[in-house]
Amino acid sequence: MTDRFRTINAVQWLAVIVLFASFLLVYATTLPDMIGRWNNPDFSHCFLVPWIAAYFAYALRYKLRSLRLRSSAWGWLVLLCSGMLFLAGKLGSVETLVYISLWLSIVGMVVTVLGWQGARVLAFPLLLLGFMIPLPFFLNSLFTCKLKFLASDLAASILEFTGKSVHRAGNIIDLPNMQLQVIDACSGLHYIYVLFLLGFIVGYLRHTRWSERLVVAAATIPLAVLANAMRIVGMAWLCQWLSPKAFKGLFHDFFGIFIFVFTIVTLFLFSSLIHLVRGKGLTKKLIDGKKFEKDGGAGSLLVNPIHVGVAVLLMILTWSVSINLNMTLISPSHLSFAEFSGKMGEWEGERFFKAKR
């Protein structure tokens, strides 16, 4: 092993570039469709996910440079699974399967080029990329409806406990001087998406055990539900001093931002509580790139063009099969009305033709 990181040669670089180009070929239409889904307010945070994942991958570069990385044929299996998901999603018109196959293809390319050792180092950025996959429409609508009624019920219970006169009917909360309606945009689902992503990142940066990281991430779900209910409770109490018109527009948005910031602070306090229970201090710096830099980065990367070449063939095979599926028009066989049977059991109809006027 030399004292400097040995990188791949021009031929190996070319193989990696061709692999990336084949990935873009397969998902040329999927990427714009998925980005279009991000325009939904519930998934607007997805625009930041690739950049955040890229930052963590960049921060881990020194650790990668300290290892002897070798390409792996195991990436073929991952790419094969992603191709099957892609075709199943196309055949069944289930776009979520296609989006999952896109993420799995990225994992497969990393395993193919860097091997399992490199994939383990980049495990967190790769998992983070999974947050860019939007949920199916029916699940998003289902969660929105459930959370809307849950937030209304929880807010009404808290208001009754604090001595407020309130009557709830579904997602409508009647107060003495106004009526609050918890609409879809106020269901708190966006809170859950963003806080779960943030909890995943906070858990990674402030904890070393995966069990603690998962606890921090999971805690964001009830925390987001409670925060949304407290936002409704706060607006119900403030209506005693403010007119109903004041709750629309800027004040409504500002109050939501205030509750969200308070929730983030609570998340950090919960993370600190876990360290306090364990009797250990906070993790100072989980990604210490300088430590690996001082080691001289005496690693190497060897990419077998055969490994990459087979991966490219799998990508192209997936693309060609999907093209043939799109070009094949399946026309189910059917009978014309004149050939349709007019007999059902013992009943038999009589045919007659209506004269044209």
Domain count, the chain: 2
Within a domain: 177? yes
Within a domain: 323? yes
Taking alpha carbons only, the member of 197, 187, 298, 201 closest to residue 232 is 187
Residues 201 and 235 occupy one common structural domain: yes
Full pLDDT tens readout for the chain, 357 residues: 344 445 667 777 888 889 999 999 999 988 999 998 898 888 888 899 999 999 999 998 888 888 888 888 899 999 999 999 999 888 888 888 999 999 999 999 999 999 899 899 999 999 999 999 998 888 888 888 888 888 777 877 877 787 777 777 677 776 767 767 676 666 677 778 888 999 999 988 888 888 888 899 898 888 888 888 888 777 777 766 666 665 665 566 676 777 788 888 888 888 888 888 876 655 544 555 454 454 445 677 778 888 888 999 999 998 888 887 765 545 556 666 666 666 777 777 676 655 555
| Structural Rg of the chain based on CA atoms | 28
Task: Give the helix ranges, DSSP H, for 27-94.
Answer: 30-37, 49-59, 61-65, 74-92
Taking alpha carbons only, the member of 91, 78, 80, 100 closest to residue 30 is 100
Within a domain: 313? yes
Task: Give the helix ranges, DSSP H, for the chain.
Answer: 10-26, 30-37, 49-59, 61-65, 74-92, 95-121, 123-129, 137-161, 189-206, 210-238, 250-278, 289-294, 305-327
Residues 120 and 18 occupy one common structural domain: yes
Residues 63 and 186 occupy one common structural domain: no
Tell me, what's the pLDDT at 284? 47
Within a domain: 239? yes
pLDDT in tens, 19-61: 999 999 999 988 999 998 898 888 888 899 999 999 999 998 8
Within a domain: 143? yes
Helix (H) or strand (E) holding 180: strand 179-181
pTM value is 0.76
Residues 247 and 115 occupy one common structural domain: no
Within a domain: 292? no
Print the domain residue range for 251: 138-278
Residues 63 and 174 occupy one common structural domain: no
Within a domain: 354? no
Of 244, 278, 312, at which residue does a domain stop? Answer: 278
Within a domain: 104? yes
Residues 30 and 103 occupy one common structural domain: yes
Residues 194 and 260 occupy one common structural domain: yes
Torsion of CA 292, 296, 301, 302, to 10 degrees: -150
Cα distance from N-terminal residue to C-terminal residue, the chain: 94
Residues 126 and 164 occupy one common structural domain: no
Residues 321 and 225 occupy one common structural domain: no
pLDDT in tens, 179-236: 676 766 666 777 788 889 999 999 888 888 888 888 998 988 888 888 888 887 777 7
Distance from C-alpha of 71 to C-alpha of 155, rounded to nearest angstrom = 55
Residues 120 and 161 occupy one common structural domain: no
Residues 165 and 121 occupy one common structural domain: no
Residues 261 and 223 occupy one common structural domain: yes
Taking alpha carbons only, the member of 183, 180, 152 closest to residue 237 is 180
